[in-house]
Each structure stands twice: as structure tokens, then as C-alpha cells.
Amino acid sequence: MSTAEELKALGNKAFSSGDYQDAIKQFSAAIELDPENHVLYSNRSGAYAAIKDYEAALSDSDKTISLKPDWPKGYGRKGAALHGLGDYEAAKNAYELGLTYDSSNPQLKKSLADIENVISSESSPFDNLFKGDILSKIASNPKLSSLLSQPDFMDKVLEIQKDPKALGKYSNDPRIMNLMIALMGLDANMFNADELNDQKPSFNSTQPPPNVPDEFVNKQGEFNSYKQKHEEEMNKLYESAREKEKELESVILEDSEEQKTLKLAEEQKALGNAAYKKKDFEEALSHYDKAIELCDTEITFYNNKSAVYFEMGDFDKCIEIAEKAADIGRENRADYKLIAKSFVRIGSAYQKKGDLVNAIKFFNKSLAEHRTADSLNKLKAAEKELKKREEEAYLDENKANEARERGNALFKQSKFPEAIKEYTESIKRNPKDPRCYSNRAACYTKLMALPEALKDVETCLEIDPTFVKAYLRKAAIQFIKREYSEAMETCNVALDKDTENKHTNEIQQQISKCYNAIQQSSQSMTSEEAIKRAQSDPEVQRIINDPSMQVILQQMQSDPRAIQEHLKNPTVAKNLRKLMAAGIVRMA
């Protein structure tokens, strides 16, 4: 999908080639994408004027001015549209208003001079003849009253009354001539009324009829002089209009010249890009600077320049240029993707400088303009790095031990929430100490926050897989959850890890508790309940369907003493405990 800038360029190209309808189409499409861009309305106004659709040209010029009231070009567009509509005074006012914003603007000054010449040539001695209640004047004159019944005559009179310039068109009509004579206060009896009614002149426009008084001859000569002058003025107006049309065609909508300049700037950018790829950074900067000198409103040139400074490691200069790029982009309504690129480069430069706070700030600003996977990944990486730095800056083993001791004291007082707070502080200060996780798990267990307790135990065992106390805490949690078989498995692992036999008694006590709980559970469970429970447990189903376990269970039924031998096998013992917990196997 084309951007507004691309459509604008297509419109300028079409206008330059004389295809004004296509230019209007392209500018209209660009306006749909960027409805607040005053230049687009200005360009379309010029295109409408080129096809003489001055009403549309005026509407677009008004929109241009509303969006950019201090832009002289908008008033030039309005003046041209009003000129085309024949409202010369309003056109003059528009040009004069535009000059208040740029008094030296050559185009506005020339347009103002042209319209003043047009206005000064408009007046004539006959302009006021047809003013006022002309119908009453005709009706009150016996020689003229019959003309009121002639529609074509009345149409001409009304047209002249509305536009005095139309008098030149009908100067050869004797009825109009007779009316002029009457309006000038002369006697109309010199004309034959029948000839007037038949629309046949008794004299031509340059020679008076015979027996006409000298006073009329003088007036006729004055009229012929005016007619000749009027025709000359009309020719001048026509030539002026043609010049205006040619001017509109060659003005290149203000942007045609810009396009030529931009083309030169783009060539410099291309040279800069080539130098950049060769890592000839000084050469690249030289070309980008030339591009900016030719067109200082194009954000891309600044973005490319900032990229060079980034590669050179001059991150402060990179930030300075990229910030200017963003400002230029906003002022000229650049594509939001280009503004996002400016912000992401600023963020990357700050990240290289180690200023992660500002890096995150500008990555977020970039994402607000245009969300891309690359920008999002940069943001996440910066946030992760900042968090890591903050955590590392907070590490202090001595303070961690102090917090852990405070937690131990609170635990002994049964102040478990307060103890959790201290253990958490200890973990932040030294996250590699497994004791803090084990102790906090004990607090969570007391508060029956079993998911949190189990999570802390697992973290503790990840740090130190030989931490026997953590296995005991895990078994206790599983026991509370009535996962007796799993608790016994955890206790067996604890026995393996307890190489110094420091926790043997405690482990055996937990195993006994599990056996007793399993027996009580199985004894209180009916056969139907046991079967239903077994059917809902996939692990129990797997054990029952295991052929080797089926053989062992049959042996146990025929010879109860065989169970002692089977219990020596850890896998079989684990399976039997699972079946006991499910109520499938019951020990006498």
C-alpha cells in the first residue's frame, strides 16, 4: 500500500505532465491517508484550477489555510481560485493577506499586481447605465415598452445588468442600442419601432442612420470608442488568463521544484549509502550533509546520518541527530515508521552508553509510533538487562545473613508473614543461598500457602540437590495434600541424600506417618470407592495393567510372605505404595 508521500509524488508527476485529472486522483488518495497535510490540499487546489474547476480549487485553498494559516502559498491558491471565479476584489484581498506573512514573496507580489491591473481596467462609462429599476424605465417609454414581450431581449438586458461586460457581446443589437440611447436621456423617436420589433437594425454599429442629431452622433462615436477599447481589454484579459494558466502549469505546484531538488538530494543520499556500506563514514557524512542542505525537511537524511555516528561509536552525536530527525519528521508529517526509526536509534545509542533507563524510554516511544518485533525485542532486552543490574547492585551476603537471622527469630515467634518478608529480603540480597528458600517454604506451609511453599522447595533443590531438609519440607507438603505415595517417594530420596544420617529419624517418622495414613485411608474406603479412584488415576491404571505387577499381585495373594522380597525392589515398592494409597492393595 502506497504512503501519502508516495501518492503526493505521483500527483506532482501527473501535474507536471499535464494529466490534471490523475493528479487530482493521486492527491485525493494521499489526503485520505494524511488528512491533516496542508500541502496536499494546496496541490489539489492547483490541479483543480488547472482544469478551471475554481469552486473546488477555492474549497481546497480554504482547507489549506485552515490547516496552515501562516503559510503564504495557501493565500496564493485562494487568490488564483477567486480570480478564476471573477471575484477580483476577494482575490486581491487574499493576495494581500498572504503578503502579511511573507512580504517579499515574488509569486504573491506578481499575482497582486496582475489582479490590480484587471480591476483597474474593469470600469467603463456605461457600467452604471443598466443599474436600478430598468424594467420600469422600459415600460414607461412608448417606443420601448413593446420590447418587454421579447424574451431574448429581456435575457440580454438582465445579463448586462448582472455583468456590464456583456454589453460588448450585444452592441450590434439595435434594441440594446435604442435602450442605451433612452437610458442616456436621448430621444428614441429617431428609430422605427417596427424595425426594432422585427429585430432589424436601421443602421449598423459604426454608421449612424440619416437625419440623426449631432448629439447622438457624438454619443455613438463615444460608444464605438468604448466598444473598441472594451474588445482590446477583453483580449488583454484573455491573454492574462492564458498566462495564468501557463503559470499554473509551470509553477509545478510548489512541489515540482521541490521534486527536482529532492531528486538531487536523493542522489546524494544514494552516494552516502554506498559509502556507508563500505564503512567510509566520513564520505557518507559528507553526502548526507549535502542531501540535508538541498532538502532540510526530509527525515530520512537525518536518520541515515545518525546511523553513521552510531557505527562510528559517537553515541552523543547519534542521539543529537536522531532527535533532530524526529523533530523534522513531526514538523513535516513524515511517515510514523520513520519517526519510530529515529526513536529506536536513540534508544540503541543510550543502551550502548549504558543508560538503560533512557534506552527503555525511547524504545517505548518508538513502539508508540510503530510496533515492530525488532523494537519490542530491544525493549525486552534492555528491561531484562536493567533488572539484572539492579539485582546485582542489591546483592550483599552480609545483609542477606542478617535478614535470614531476623526471619528465623520471627519464625520461632510464629510471626510467619513477617518472617516471609525477611526471608524474601535475604533472597534478594543473596539468591544463591538455598536456606532462605527452605525457610520461607516452611512459613508458607504454616500458612497453608502450599503452591508457594512447593515452588520455594523446588528452587532450593535446584540450587542444592543434596539439601535434605528441603526434601522433608516437600514430603510434609505432599502429606498435607494427601499425596501419601509421593511423600514416601520423597522421603526415600531424602534417605539416599542423608549420607551423614543427620535426619534419619525425622525421615523415618514421616514415612511411618505416610504408611499409617495410607492404611487408614484404604480401610475406610469401600471396594467401589477404591475402584472408582483407581479408574480416575492414570498412574494406578498403568501399574495394574503392567504384566509383571500382575504376577507380583497374584503371588502376594497366594503367599503374603512374598511381599517382603518384592519390597526390596525400589520400583516394585513404589508401585505397591501407590496401589496401597489408592486402596487397591491392603496390608494386614
Q: pLDDT value at position 195? A: 42
Cα gap 74→94, rounded to integer Å: 9
Contact 404, 435 (CB under 8 A): yes
Domain final residue pick, 70, 90, 120: 120
Q: What mean pLDDT value characterizes the chain?
A: 82
- Of 84-88, 216-220, 436-440, 487-491, least confident by mean pLDDT is 216-220
| Mean pLDDT to the nearest integer, 252-256 | 51
In degrees and rounded to multiples of 5, residue 384 shows phi and psi of -65, -45
Do the domain assignments include residue 376? yes
Task: Give the pLDDT confidence of 432-477 residue by residue, as tens digits.
Answer: 999 999 999 999 999 999 999 999 999 999 999 999 999 999 999 9
DSSP secondary structure, 242-276, as one string: HHHHHHHHHHTTTHHHHHHHHHHHHHHHHHHHHHH
- Which of the four pLDDT bands, split at 50, 70 and 90, describes residue 331? confident
Same structural domain, 49 and 108: yes
pLDDT score of 526 = 63
| 386-401 tens-digit pLDDT | 998 988 889 999 999 9
467: closest CA among 440, 488, 437, 445?
437
Type of residue numbered 337: K
Taking alpha carbons only, the member of 197, 219, 195, 199 closest to residue 208 is 219
Query: Does the pLDDT value for residue 77 go beyond 50?
Result: yes
At which of 393, 425, 460 does a domain end? 393
54: cell is 475554481
**Residue 43, in any domain of the structure:** yes
Q: Running DSSP on this structure, what letter comes out for residue 220? A: H
Please return the burial class of 230, using the count of CB atoms within 10 Å of its CB with bins 0-12, 13-18 and 19+.
buried
pLDDT of residue 148: 78
- Do residues 79 and 156 share a domain? no
The whole-angstrom separation of Cα 87 and Cα 78 is: 11
Which phi and psi (to 5°) does residue 34 adopt? -135, 75
How far CA 145 is from CA of 138, 149, 202, in Å, comes to 5, 8, 19
* Predicted confidence (pLDDT) at residue 505 exceeds the cutoff of 80: yes
Asked if the model's pLDDT at residue 317 lies above 50, the reply is yes
Same domain, 155 and 225: yes
Task: State which amino acid sits at residue 79.
Answer: G
Please tell me whether residues 48 and 148 are part of one structural domain.
no
Q: Given the C-alpha cell 550502548, which residue does it identify?
A: 352
Percent of the chain past pLDDT 70, that is, above it, reads 77
Say which range, 71-75, 350-354, 553-557, has the weakest mean pLDDT.
553-557
- 79 has pLDDT over 60: yes
- My answer on whether 97 and 168 are in the same domain is no
pLDDT mean over 9-21: 88
Domain limits for position 29: 4-120
Residue 180: half-sphere exposure toward Cβ, Cα within 13 Å: 24
Tally of domains in the chain: 3
Q: Considering 393, 419, 442, which residue would you say is the last residue of a domain?
A: 393
Shared-domain flag, residues 196 and 144: yes
- 173-187 b/e (C-beta count within 10 Å ≥ 16 → b): bbbbbbbbbbbeebe
Average pLDDT of span 57-78: 94
Same domain? 115 vs 170: no
CATH label of the domain that carries residue 378:
1.25.40.10
- The residue that leads in pLDDT, 141 or 270, is 270
Of 78-92, 415-429, 510-524, the poorest mean pLDDT is in 510-524
Closest to 381 in 3D by CA, of 413, 412, 344, 329: 344
Q: What confidence tier does 518 reach under pLDDT thresholds 50, 70, 90?
A: confident
Task: Looking at mean pLDDT, say which of 54-68, 162-176, 230-244 comes out highest.
Answer: 54-68
**The pLDDT of residue 552 is above 50:** yes
Task: Determine, yes or no, domain membership for 360.
Answer: yes
Evaluate whether residue 169 is within a structural domain.
Answer: yes
Return the beta strands (E) in 381-475 as ranges.
none
Question: What does the pLDDT average to over 359-386?
Answer: 93
The answer as to whether 270 is a domain residue is no
Total residue length of the chain: 588
Q: Is residue 253, in this structure, part of any structural domain at all?
A: no
pTM: 0.41
Give the dihedral of Cα atoms 233, 235, 237, 242; nearest 10 deg.
-170
Question: Which pLDDT score is estimated for 207?
Answer: 47
Whether 442 and 472 have beta carbons less than 8 Å apart is answered as no
pLDDT of residue 512: 86
* More confident of the two residues 241 and 409: 409
Pair 112, 17 in one domain: yes
Indicate if 14 and 107 belong to the same structural domain.
yes
Q: Burial-class residue 287 by CB neighbours within 10 Å (0-12, 13-18, 19+).
A: buried
Whole-number pLDDT of residue 549? 77
Confidence class of residue 252 from pLDDT cuts 50, 70 and 90?
very low
Query: Is 297 in a helix, a strand, or coil?
Result: coil
Instruction: Please check whether residue 558 lies inside any domain of the structure.
Output: no
Here the cell at position 409 is: 527469630
pLDDT of residue 49: 93
In a domain, 290, yes or no: no
Q: Which residue has the higher pLDDT, 134 or 472?
A: 472
Rounded to an integer, what distance in angstroms lies between the CA atom of residue 339 and that of residue 114? 43
- Which one has a higher pLDDT value, 149 or 71? 71
Q: Are residues 98 and 146 in the same domain?
A: no
Over residues 322-346, the mean pLDDT reads 91
Same-domain status, 109 and 141: no
